[in-house]
Structure 1
C-alpha cells in the first residue's frame, strides 16, 4: 500500500506540472472568477504544502499507537468532496502576485523529487513531529502521504476547472 500511494503522489505532481504547462503565461495568472485563486496560485499552494517534507520525514518520529492507515479513508473522502470549500492554513496560502510559468513547473518537479524520495526512505508507520495546533498533528507519515496525494488530486481538478474558465 505504501509504495502505491507514494507513486500516486508522484503522478499527481506530474499531472500538476502538465496542467500548468497547458496554460499560457497570461491565462496562468488570470483570476477565473471572484473568490478564486489563479492556476498559478493553486500550483504554488501545492508546492508550499510539500516544501520541507524531507526535513519532517527525516526528523525523529514516534511509533504510532494505532494502525498506520486508520485515517486514510477519511482523508480520501474529505479531499474528494468538491462541494466543500476549505480554508488553507496561512503558511501555505500563495502570494498574490504574477508567477512565472517555467519557475512554477521547475519548483513542482523539484518538490516532487524531494517529497517522493523522503516518503520512500522513511518509516511510514511513525508519527512525524508536527507542531501543536497543526491541523495534521497526530497523523502517521503514511496518512500524511495519502493526504498530500488526495490534496494534490483535488487541486488538479481545481486547476482543470480554472483552465475551462480562462481559455
Structure 2
C-alpha cells in the first residue's frame, strides 16, 4: 500500500463516517435504538476514543519493522469488515452515557483525523510504532494504524446505517 492510497482511503472513510452521523437529528444521536446497542453518539465517541493518541503514536518511538510493514493489513481488514462477528471493545475505549452534541462530535472526529493525516505525511509509515501494543498483534506500523482507523471506521459506519434504518422504522 502506498502512503497516498492509505491517506486518501482514511479521508474517504472520514467523509463516510461524518455523512452517517449527519443522518441523525440531535435527539436521535443520543437515542438507544434497541436493547444492547450504543447510541449513534456513543458509536462516534468510541471511534474518537480509539483514535485519539494515534497522532502521538506516529510522532513517538519507532523501530524498523522485522516483518513487512503491511503484514497485518489483510488480517485487520478481514476482521473489522466482517459484519457477521460481534466484537467486544476494550474498556478504555467504551463510550460514556453522557449526551453527545452532534456537531461537536463530528468536528472532533474530523480534527483528530486531520492531525493524524498531518503526522502521517511527516513520518515513515513503514516503521513500527512502539509506544502502544495492539492486543494480539503487538506494535503496528504506521501503515497498519491507518488501515485500522479506516476499517474500524467503516465497521462503525455500517453500524450507524443499521441504527438509522432501525430508528426510521
Q: Is the shorter-chain TM-score for this pair beyond 0.5, marking a shared fold?
A: yes
Does the Cα contact within 8 Å between 2:62 and 2:128 map onto a contact in 1?
Answer: yes
Q: Quote how far apart the aligned CAs of 1:114 are.
A: 0.7
Residue 110 (structure 1) aligns with:
111
Under a length normalisation based on structure 2, what TM-score does the superposition of the two structures give?
0.92
Aligned length: 166
The answer for unaligned runs of 5 or more in structure 1 is none
CA distance in 2, matches of 1:107, 1:16: 12
CA distance in 1, matches of 2:129, 2:149: 14
Give yes or no for the alignment of 1:155 onto 2:135: no
Residue 33 (structure 2) aligns with:
32
Report matched runs for 1:111-130 at 5 Å: 111-130=112-131
The answer for unaligned runs of 5 or more in structure 2 is none
CA distance in 2, matches of 1:113, 1:41: 21
CA distance in 1, matches of 2:35, 2:121: 40
CA distance in 1, matches of 2:54, 2:140: 14
RMSD of aligned alpha carbons:
1.3
Runs (4 or more) in structure 1 with deviation over 4 Å come to: none
Under a length normalisation based on structure 1, what TM-score does the superposition of the two structures give?
0.93
Residue 44 (structure 2) aligns with:
43
